[in-house]
Amino acid sequence: MSEKKFFTQTGEETLQELSVTSKGLTSAEAESRLEKYGKNQLDEGKKKSLLQKFLDQFKDLMIIILIVAAILSVVTSGGKDISDAIIIMAVVIINAVFGVIQENRAEAAIDALKEMSTPIARVRRNGHVEEVDSTLLVPGDIVLLEAGDVVPADMRLLTTASLQIEESGLTGESVPVDKNQDAIVADDAEVGDRVNMAYQNSNVTYGRGTGVVVATGMNTEVGHIAHLLQNADETETPLKTNLNKLSKILTYAILVIAAVTFAVGVFVQHQDPLEALMTSVALAVAAIPEGLPAIVTIVLALGTQVLSKKNAIVRKLPAVETLGSTEIIASDKTGTLTMNQMTIEKVFTNGKLIDATDEIPSDDLTLRVMNYANDTKISEQGKLIGDPTETALVQYGLDHNFDVRDALKKEPRVGELPFDSDRKLMSTIHKQADGKLLIAVKGAPDQLLKRVTRKLVDGQVLPMTDADKQEILKINKSLAKQALRVLMMAYKIEDTMPELSSEVIENDLIFAGLVGMIDPERKEAADAVKVAKEAGIRPIMITGDHQDTAEAIAIRLGILEDNAEADSHVLTGAQLNEMSDEEFQKAVSQYSVYARVSPQHKVRIVKAWQNEGKVVAMTGDGVNDAPALKTADIGIGMGITGTEVSKGASDMVLADDNFATIIVAVEEGRKVFSNIQKTVQYLLSANTAEVLTIFLATLFGWDVLKPVHLLWINLVTDTFPAIALGVEPVEPGIMDQKPRGRKASLFSNGVMSSIIYQGILQAALTLGVYWYGIKFPVHSGYDAIHADALTMAYATLGLIQLVHAFNVKSVHQSLFKVGFFKSKVFNISILISFVLLAITIVVPGFNKVFHVTNLDGHQWAAVIIGSLSMFVIVEIVKAIQRAMGLDKKQ
């Protein structure tokens, strides 16, 4: 059933194909078909158990390395020291729990789709109307629809009476669609153009109708979307890619370090092989930055808090960082770039074309007709309830001091001809104070102009000439070119109540005016598009709306240049269908606007940009957006207008549905990545220093640091400063840089070279101070001299890392420009770390625990000079790098 295009055939042909009459199925036939087609509900797909999801989190290489490190740390200590193992496993389990939570959130999208289905449907069975559970509907059922209903299955319409269905969840089009059972639609028509069909989960806003069910469950359009959701590839985030690369690099480095250390111990220092093995394993464990996953999680979590205060609710932690690498923002039009509220922009009345903001007299006939021929209701709270087009007309009246409620008290409605999709007109009759009747008619210009014989100019009614009609058509065309939806207003005065028929009421009318309206762009969206372009991000628009509307809004927003030709920059869904994947891949960078597209098209567009190596963010609010939201590197749902389905498939939700909020989030994302990069630089350069210090000391036959020293330095100087670096304020000019993209890594922009030389420098300074302590002793005797030198090396390595934290505030910029003490969090963290380090040396009672001695002024001077040398040397290197232009390279 799902492959048959019923919209290309008549209702009678559809009934014949489904072997049913307009009287409906019998209960026996419905039961038989239910067995054949299954229930009208969405498949859940294969779900993993909670335990499976939890265990899956341990397949990551970094996690495996950490678990091995935890085991080895216990083995090397002979089971006496398990503190490292406890810390490592706590980090691993916390990360696993986060992963499970995120996976459960992703599955919520399918559940939300299921919950949208209407529970009850009215069908004709056994020759009369019955109410049945919508899950029991089958192809061939005849369903009755009326205003307020949710369409329970995909149907070919058989009868329509002014039927309008709001399909924005499927098409993205903000205006309800007029349905017509007699229309025969082209084979390549998209959902929004299939006016003879009604689709599951869309809403009947006006009129009534009947239809025959042609698809149920997973064979419906919503079912196709559910299938796309179930099979959408979860794109690996740039951060996860980077951490995986880091895991591989560390794995190789650790294996090399362990092998070389073992070889040196056995063949150079002639150690016992078992002792050498234990030393090399201990060193390998020290090389792992076990705190990194936890710190990354903390930095991302803090980033989500910042974004939540700026109306961006992050559902998946890595999304914060992914935003920073975004190169393409594919945005839905309605509600994100536009207001999702039809608004009048132009009015042609009394022979003049005026802007909506211009003054208009309260007795103007165009103003009166648009408010009278209107079914909008106004609640006690002043909220307008009704069709978006009609509410826009009433809102225009209220904005110009014309309250239709007061007007109707003076000129009440005494008759009407409701809107009809065939006539495309609506008429109301109002009794005036003088007893005469005002007939107000609004409708489509092409239909209403045929019925107009006169015109109103400066209070005079004059005959309508052919030249006048051509002028009206010219203005109508001009407004339509601006993507404005145009309605015409006409009227006439009768002495007595006429017959309520279109032939009598809607003829020999007086032309009053034209009204042009549109869902306007958000004021802040154009500025946000400009900022995005300056930041090297390309905004593109993907919408289910018509090409002309999409093009006009895109030009007004700056997505397209005003002089751009639509054919070269706007691609429709029908045109996309004609292109092979290879052809589209070659042309994808040519288009900035996609109009009249389907859910499959949106996924295809996102994937094409991803195949270009781009990091893609996708916004959307409808059910039709969900597959693309899930496929994109970062899916952005709408908090106000968005369906639960689209929110469930998203990584981030905009609480204010505002495109400008995305740009704010991008800046925060760039800051988060920059800070994670600083954290990685700080931790790995510190770990490199520790490994090199121990390795070289082993090579020289020195006993420089004890295991307790490494443990305490890692605890106090790694943790607090690393977290503080993760919440550093944004560096100036970060939005002037191009997106780093998918290829950039945590080691790009000079970070890797900085890690290497800064690690070597820390190790050299630490060993230098140790050598100084041996060569220029304060006490006599080997044990005393060695104890002092050991203490000096310990103090130097700890202080160097605290000093180095200041260096890492910027990879290339001088600390004098970045600022020493701008961040209160950073200052406090350095102070806490310094105090915890100093306690182990200067507070009585700690000496024995940490194997340290009390140093004199001479020795402390050597420690301080050695530590501060780190800052001076790094500042000199940064100055040389800036002079060589290395800071400009990504």
Please give the full DSSP string across 137-152, using - where no structure is assigned. Answer: --TT-EEEEETTPBP-
Task: Mean pLDDT check: name the lowest of 58-62, 67-71, 217-221.
Answer: 58-62
pLDDT digits (tens, 9 = 90+) for 741-781: 777 777 777 888 899 999 999 999 999 999 999 998 887 77
pLDDT band at 2 (very low <50, low <70, confident <90, very high): very low
The encoded tokens of residue 42 equal 């969405």
What is the average pLDDT score of the chain? 83
d(CA 651, CA 226): 18
Q: Which of 244, 333, 330 is nearest to 631 (CA)?
A: 330
* Strand 384-385 with 413-420, pairing: unpaired
Q: Is pLDDT above 50 for 106?
A: no
329 and 525 in contact (C-beta within 8 Å)?
no
Per-residue b/e over 536-551, b at no fewer than 16 CB within 10 Å?
ebbbbbbbbbbbbbbb
Which DSSP symbol is given to 521?
B
Question: In one letter, which amino acid is 723?
Answer: I
Please state the rounded mean pLDDT for residues 169-185.
80
Question: In one letter, which amino acid is 473?
Answer: L
Q: Is pLDDT above 70 for 232?
A: no
Write down the pLDDT at residue 360.
95
Q: Is pLDDT above 50 for 398?
A: yes
Return the percentage of the chain with pLDDT > 90, whole number. Answer: 34
d(CA 594, CA 576): 9
Q: Which of the following CATH numbers is that of domain 343-518: 3.40.50.10680, 3.40.50.10490, 1.10.520.10, 3.40.1110.10?
A: 3.40.1110.10
pLDDT band at 888 (very low <50, low <70, confident <90, very high): low
407 and 387 in contact (C-beta within 8 Å)?
no
Please state the rounded mean pLDDT for residues 479-489.
89
pLDDT band at 116 (very low <50, low <70, confident <90, very high): very low
Write down the pLDDT at residue 117.
46
Q: Which of 140, 139, 114 is nearest to 216 (CA)?
A: 139
Q: Is pLDDT above 90 for 388?
A: no
Q: Is pLDDT larger for residue 797 or for residue 168?
A: 797
d(CA 283, CA 254): 9
Q: Is pLDDT above 80 for 138?
A: yes
Write down the pLDDT at residue 60.
63
Q: Is 682 left (phi over 0), alpha (psi -120 to 50) or beta?
A: alpha
Write down the pLDDT at residue 451.
95
pLDDT band at 162 (very low <50, low <70, confident <90, very high): confident
d(CA 224, CA 228): 6
Task: Mean pLDDT check: name the lowest of 90-94, 179-183, 574-578.
Answer: 90-94
pLDDT band at 562 (very low <50, low <70, confident <90, very high): confident
Model confidence pTM above 0.75:
no
Q: How many residues does the chain have?
A: 890
Please state the rounded mean pLDDT for residues 652-680.
85
Q: Which residues, 6 or more positions from 882, have their beta carbon under 8 angstroms from its beta carbon?
A: 812
Per-residue b/e over 39-59, b at no fewer than 16 CB within 10 Å?
ebbbeeeeeeeeeebbeebee
Q: Which of 393, 414, 394, 390 is nearest to 404 (CA)?
A: 394
Cα 97 from chain centre: 23
Write down the pLDDT at residue 78.
62
- The 10 Å Cβ neighbour count of residue 158 is 19
d(CA 757, CA 717): 19
84 is catalytic: no
d(CA 373, CA 115): 37
314 and 650 in contact (C-beta within 8 Å)?
no
Please state the rounded mean pLDDT for residues 859-873.
94
* Strand 634-638 with 652-654, pairing: parallel
Q: How many secondary structure helices (H) and strands (E) does the chain include? A: 34, 26
pLDDT band at 278 (very low <50, low <70, confident <90, very high): low
Write down the pLDDT at residue 188.
80
Q: Is pLDDT above 60 for 113?
A: no
CATH classification (class only), 6-42+117-226: mainly beta
* Strand 154-166 with 485-494, pairing: unpaired
Q: Which residues, 6 or more positions from 437, have their beta carbon under 8 angstroms from its beta carbon?
A: 414, 429, 430, 431, 493, 494, 495, 496, 497, 498
pLDDT band at 357 (very low <50, low <70, confident <90, very high): very high
The encoded tokens of residue 795 equal 């103090």
Q: Is pLDDT above 90 for 247?
A: no
Q: Is pLDDT above 70 for 535?
A: yes
pLDDT band at 234 (very low <50, low <70, confident <90, very high): low
Q: Which residues, 6 or more positions from 871, have their beta carbon under 8 angstroms from its beta carbon?
A: 803, 804, 806, 807, 815
Write down the pLDDT at residue 81.
60
Location of structure tokens 């009747």: 437
Please state the rounded mean pLDDT for residues 530-539.
90
Handedness of CA 355, 356, 359, 363 (dihedral sign): positive
Question: In one letter, which amino acid is 179?
Answer: K
The single residue of 149, 193, 332, 519 carrying the catalytic annotation is 332
pLDDT band at 452 (very low <50, low <70, confident <90, very high): very high
Question: In one letter, which amino acid is 293?
Answer: P
450-to-367, 425, 499 alpha-carbon distances in Å: 21, 12, 20
d(CA 64, CA 45): 30
Q: Interhelix angle for 238-263 vs 61-76, to 10°?
A: 30
Please give the full DSSP string across 594-620, using - where no structure is assigned: EES--HHHHHHHHHHHHHTT--EEEEE
In degrees rounded to 5, what are phi and psi of residue 150? -100, 125
Q: Which of 748, 583, 640, 652 is nearest to 245 (CA)?
A: 748
d(CA 779, CA 92): 47
pLDDT band at 364 (very low <50, low <70, confident <90, very high): very high
Handedness of CA 26, 27, 28, 33 (dihedral sign): positive
d(CA 825, CA 724): 6
Write down the pLDDT at residue 25.
93
Per-state percent for the chain, helix, strand, coil, to nearest 5 = 55, 15, 30
Q: Is pLDDT above 70 for 721?
A: yes
855 and 787 in contact (C-beta within 8 Å)?
no
The encoded tokens of residue 386 equal 């009704």
Location of structure tokens 């008759």: 415
The encoded tokens of residue 385 equal 């309830």
d(CA 647, CA 584): 29
Q: Which of 617, 637, 668 is nearest to 324 (CA)?
A: 668
Please state the rounded mean pLDDT for residues 644-648.
72
Q: Is pLDDT above 60 for 564?
A: no
Write down the pLDDT at residue 3.
52
Helices (H), 342-455: 365-372, 388-399, 404-410, 445-448
pLDDT band at 639 (very low <50, low <70, confident <90, very high): confident
693 and 704 in contact (C-beta within 8 Å)?
yes
pLDDT digits (tens, 9 = 90+) for 318-340: 777 788 889 999 988 877 788 87
Please state the rounded mean pLDDT for residues 285-299.
69
Return the percentage of the chain with pLDDT > 70, whole number. Answer: 87
Location of structure tokens 């993760």: 726
d(CA 540, CA 554): 9
List of E strands, 448-546: 452-457, 460-463, 485-494, 509-518, 538-542
Write down the pLDDT at residue 119.
67
Q: Is pLDDT larger for residue 459 or for residue 412?
A: 412
Q: Is pLDDT larger for residue 863 or for residue 480?
A: 863
Q: Is pLDDT above 90 for 862?
A: yes
Helices (H), 411-500: 445-448, 466-481
Write down the pLDDT at residue 498.
92
Reply yes or no on domain 289-308+665-733+741-888 having CATH 1.20.1110.10: yes
Q: Is pLDDT above 70 for 65?
A: no
* CATH no. for 314-339+522-657: 3.40.50.1000
d(CA 554, CA 330): 12
Which DSSP symbol is given to 267?
I
Task: Mean pLDDT check: name the lowest of 126-140, 587-601, 729-743.
Answer: 729-743
